[in-house]
A and B are shown apart, each in its own frame.
Chain A
Amino acid sequence: MNLHEYQAKELLAKYGIKTQRGEVTDNPETAAEIFRRLTERQPRQERDKLRPDPIGNISEAVVKAQIHSGGRGKAGGIKFVNTPEQAQKATAELIGKTLITRQTGPAGKVVHKVLIAEALTVERELYLGIVIDRRRSLPVLMASAEGGMEIEELSRKSPEKIIKVNWFPGNGFPLNEAKKVTGALNLERYQKEAVELIRNFTRLFVENDCSLAEINPLIVNKTYGLVALDAKINLDDRGLYRHKDLSQWRDIAEEHPLEYEASKYDLSYIGLDGNIGCMVNGAGLAMSTMDLIKLAGGEPANFLDVGGGATTEQVAQAFKILVSNKNVRAILVNIFGGIMKCDVIAQGITTAVKEVGLTLPMVVRLEGTNVELGKKILKESGLNIISADTMDEAAESVVRLVSGV
């Protein structure tokens, strides 16, 4: 599950990591007021308890589109403003706009909210990130003295400029390692703060079951020290059950509607660009089926894993989801019934097809226990179903169907 920048920053703030002061809004009418609040001179005792960053004398603000995607700046999703009127104008321009970044794909993402935050002067930009290092089965902290927008390019061109430290989550991030990283980043002037930040950031990752956490850039600001100017946090879906509060932050508007619909029924769905709908039990088999369709000259419209079980209910829901994609012209069902018997699955398919009122042509390949009985049921159903014995036969049949041969 992905978090928005503003949510990630709230979480960072809970762990004592400074971020700029800012407020989220989906309403351009409030932007001017937010700008005034951010920039008016604050008496010391009005310090915002949630954000331990210092009160400031800020005259510039930044309006940032809140979408689950990087590369917003280049796509025009980040605007600097100097007056309440400019803040209002920028917010009005961004809300409802479709941003196309290198990560959103050509369809882009619609902006529903913006974060209006203090614009701070930047002395240096650093990078801090944490992911799971699968090679070592340990989380890894990555740090670089060259943060900012081009970290991916840096990791390609000069991977040696990125410091990497693995640590075991059962223990805290070791103090001596934190000091070493601080030194390698030339942050001796801010050593105490940097060490604490690193230890808190790594603790945040572990305590919240993250799959990715990034502060890019982490800036050095003359007055305020180390400040997280942008943050990205992804949570391990499997850990959400023990973070009910974080689950509330799920933003369905950022998810593909069919993928979201599928997740409600324990189906795993990924939309693709083609016109052949696929339904398979098992992720590896599903990916192979997609691969086979391509090999046969076709284009899969989706990945859909109904799971090892493939109950009638799930099969029906899966069909409904498949046909919601208007590009689908034919369907390929590939089910390997291990424990599940093929006649039961065939029954499930015919029931579901009738329930959904499906008229699209379908190729069904069943394998496993009672496969002959299963094929018989499909044949006698009177439905527009072609049976296939092997996976490649199935792929070739469905590709022929779609190309009208």
Chain B
Amino acid sequence: MSILVNKGTRVVVQGITGSAGSFHTRQMLEYGTNIVAGVTPKKGGMKFDDKIPVFDTVRQAVNATGANTSVVFVPAAFALAALLEAAEAGLKLVVAITEGIPTLDMVKAYRFYREKGVCLIGPNGPGVITPAEPAFAKATAGGPARRSFSGGGCKVGIMPGYIHKNGSVGVVSRSGTLTYEAVWQITKVGLGQSTCVGIGGDAVLGTSFTDILEMFQKDSETEAIVMIGEIGGTMEEEAADYIKSNVTKPVVAFIAGKTAPKGKRMGHAGAIISGGKGTAQEKVEKLTACGITVVPNPAEIGKTVKEVMNAE
């Protein structure tokens, strides 16, 4: 049934009246996501676009509308407070889009979410999407003529909906646009995605590769998994160990940053090779040793997934 988000997802948008929040709320609505509420402190009582009721607090929104998922567009300086508030408001899932949250704030958020048993995705990621079906016909000449989705899909984030297609490949990634690239390749070779999860590019994240892999393994709709990693940290290595012992579905991985120099932060806060640890080479070696297909060329992710699935 896909993972994390589906037809039953009822979304509250934290930061709905901000520029990012308002723009992406409209995009999510266009995709068919069931957005039931918004939260902006002191703006409670108004209606966003004459449609969505806005509340002062997440708890109020949940009580009034039965929201079970939040997407957070609150600026970094206020993000910790927004995340802590969301964790205690009776939600099951919180998706944090915000970029630039101080690492020590995330350390606090992480512990809190584990204690409360609420799932936190992100921060600094594109979000989660379970694609609608059917797909647009072809998004080539002039772009998709009709972006009409027949429902069943749910987009909680900022990714472009039209590149996705309902299918059986689970995608989990630390990146944003690189994920879109991989998704687009998968769609172009005629496959589709069950759910795509952007776990985020920061050093401390709410959910790891391993957590998502476990969900994909249990998901009846997912038949193969694509994992997109990058330099920094040891999350890919930990995932490799998990996959070896627990994942029976084929996994295809790509690791960005083979040419990244040591000691430099490559954009993402978490993309830094420090103390010699976290190089792309190490990750590739570990993944390969655990039986995972590693794609050396980022332009061949879609092609490789198709080959692997045909072989199964």
Contacts and interface: CB of A to CB of B under 8 A. Distances in A.
Interface of A: 103, 131-132, 134-135, 137-139, 152, 155, 168-170, 206, 209, 211, 236-239, 241-242, 268, 270, 272, 280-288, 290-295, 300, 303, 305, 308, 336, 338-339, 341-342, 367-373, 390-392
Interface in B251-265: 254, 256-261, 263-264
| Complex A-B, nearest 4 residue pairs according to Cβ-Cβ distance, in ascending order | A283-B267, A284-B175, A282-B177, A284-B178
Contacts of B275: 152, 155
20 contacts: A135-B233, A135-B238, A137-B106, A238-B269, A270-B261, A270-B264, A282-B175, A282-B176, A284-B174, A284-B178, A284-B228, A284-B230, A285-B176, A292-B299, A294-B258, A303-B267, A338-B158, A368-B160, A373-B142, A392-B297
Interface string B96-113: 000011111011101100
A339 B160 contact: yes
Interface in B67-109: 76-77, 100-104, 106-108
B292 interface: no
B268 A211 contact: no
B137 interface: no
Interface residues of B, number: 70
B259 A290 contact: yes
A371 B176 CA distance: 19
B142 A338 contact: no
Interface stretch (B4-12, B36-44, B179-187, B304-312): B179-187
B173 A284 contact: yes
A58 B304 CA distance: 69
Given A284-B174, A341-B143, A390 B257 contact: no
A103 B107 contact: no
Nearest to A272: B261
Interface in B214-247: 228, 230-235, 238
Nearest to A304: B267
Given A132-B107, A155-B275, A283-B271, 18 more contacts: A134-B234, A138-B107, A238-B100, A238-B103, A282-B178, A283-B201, A283-B266, A284-B271, A285-B177, A286-B266, A287-B230, A288-B256, A303-B266, A336-B181, A339-B158, A367-B184, A372-B140, A373-B143
B234 A242 contact: no
Contacts of B181: 285, 288, 336, 367, 391
B257 A287 contact: yes
Interface of B: 23, 27, 76-77, 100-104, 106-108, 110-111, 139-144, 158-160, 162-163, 173-181, 184, 201, 203-204, 228, 230-235, 238, 254, 256-261, 263-264, 266-271, 274-276, 280, 296-300
A284 B27 contact: no
Nearest to B298: A288
B111 A170 contact: yes
Contacts of B259: 272, 287, 290-291, 293-294, 300
B111 A137 contact: yes
Nearest to A394: B299
A391 B160 contact: no
Contacts of A372: 140-143
A85 B127 CA distance: 63
Contacts of A139: 104, 107
A308 B157 CA distance: 13
Contact of A391 (B179, B180, B298): B298
A45 to B, nearest CB: 40
Contact of A291 (B108, B142, B256, B268): B256
A137 B107 contact: yes
Contact of B107 (A169, A281, A371): A169
A305 B243 CA distance: 32
Contacts of B158: 308, 338-339
A135 B278 CA distance: 12
Nearest to A206: B104
A263 B239 CA distance: 33
A292 B177 contact: no
Contacts of A294: 258-259
A292 B295 CA distance: 12
B66 to A, nearest CB: 29
A295 B102 contact: no
Given A139-B107, A284-B256, A238 B102 contact: yes
Nearest to B274: A131
B103 A236 contact: yes
Contacts of B235: 134
